[in-house]
Structures are given as C-alpha cells and as structure tokens.
Amino acid sequence: MNDKATGKPGEKKCDICSFGPPDWQYKCKKCRNVFVMPAPKGPSEEKNRKCPKCGSAEIERTDLVKSEACPPGG
C-alpha cells in the first residue's frame, strides 16, 4: 500500500469531504424528532444513540446528509 491518503482506494475526496463520512439523519419513533449526527465509528456507537429531545432509543436512520459545501463529483 503506497496510498498516503487514509480513505479507501479509488474513493474520491475533496478537501472539504476529507473531514469524514457524511452525517446521518435520524428520526425518533417516539416524538418524531428529526436530528442529524455524525456517522458512527462502529455498531456499538450507533446502538447507544438516543433522541436528543426525548431520550428515547427508538430511533431509525432515515437518510445521509452530505455536506452542502461539497460540490457533486468534487
């Protein structure tokens, strides 16, 4: 491996995107609150996530939130 970048081979990254993966959008099943959190580093981290509004662990991931500052393909 002579890839000096930390990303996966073949994965294009711009200066802005190099901060990391896109955020994840969650929706609370209890209070229907929609919130965004950074992508978890592992399954255990995601499992411990709770709704910041009501504290319920019954949340579901609904979408990925990409950085608006990053242009497509860039």
Within positions 10 to 39, which residues make up the interface with Zn ion, using CB under 5 A?
Answer: 28, 30-31, 33
Pick 16 or 54: Cβ nearer Zn ion: 54
Identify the three-state secondary structure at position 47: helix
Three-class secondary structure of residue 43 per DSSP: helix
- Calculate the alpha carbon distances from 30 to 5, 8, 23, 33, 62 in Å: 41, 37, 21, 8, 15
Give min distance, CB of 57 to Zn ion, in A. Answer: 9
16, 36, 54, 57: which one contacts Zn ion (CB under 5 A)? 54
The residue ranges that bind Zn ion (CB under 5 A) are 28, 30-31, 33, 51, 53-54, 56
